[in-house]
Amino acid sequence: MDVYEAIVGRRTIRQFDPKPIPRGILEKIANAARLAPSAANLQPLEYVAVDDAAIRTKIFPCLKWAAAISPLGNPRPGHEPTAYVFVLVNTLVRDKMYEYDAGAAIENMALAAWGEGIASCWLVSIDKPRIVELLGIPETRRLDSVLALGYPGQVSVVETMSEERKKYWQDSDLMFHVPKRGLTEILHFNKF
Ligand SMILES: Cc1cc2nc3c(=O)[nH]c(=O)nc-3n(C[C@H](O)[C@H](O)[C@H](O)COP(=O)(O)O)c2cc1C
- In the chain, the percentage of residues whose pLDDT exceeds 90 is 97
- Give me the number of domains the chain comprises: 1
- In the chain, the percentage of residues whose pLDDT exceeds 70 is 100
Q: Which residues line ligand 1 (CB under 6 A)?
A: 11-12, 14, 64-66, 121-125, 156, 168, 178
Residue with the smallest CA separation from ligand 1 atom 31 is: 122
Indicate the pTM of the whole model. 0.97
The pLDDT score that the predictor gives to residue 23 is 98
Mutate to test the pocket of ligand 1, among 121, 157, 170 (most ligand atoms within 8 A of CB): 121
Instruction: Flag whether 177 is in a domain.
Output: no
Instruction: Flag whether 149 is in a domain.
Output: yes
Chain centre to alpha carbon of residue 69: 18
Instruction: Flag whether 171 is in a domain.
Output: no
Answer yes or no: are the C-beta atoms of 113 and 150 closer than 8 Å: no
Instruction: Flag whether 132 is in a domain.
Output: yes
Domain that holds residue 48: 3-155
CA distance 184 to 178: 18
Instruction: Flag whether 175 is in a domain.
Output: no
What does the CA dihedral 136, 142, 143, 144 come to, rounded to 10 degrees?
-170
Instruction: Flag whether 187 is in a domain.
Output: no
CATH code of the domain covering residue 22: 3.40.109.10
In DSSP terms, 158 is beta-bridged to 178
For residue 189, the 8-state DSSP code is S
Residue 152 parent element (H or E): strand 141-152
Answer yes or no: are the C-beta atoms of 142 and 94 closer than 8 Å: no
Residue with the smallest CA separation from ligand 1 atom 4 is: 123
DSSP 3-state helix, strand, coil percentages of the chain (rounded to 5)?
35, 25, 40
pLDDT 10s digits, 84-109: 999 999 999 999 999 999 999 999 99
Instruction: Flag whether 96 is in a domain.
Output: yes
The pLDDT score that the predictor gives to residue 60 is 98
Using 50, 70 and 90 to split pLDDT, how confident is the model at 113? very high
Q: Which atom of ligand 1 is nearest to the CA of 126?
A: 8
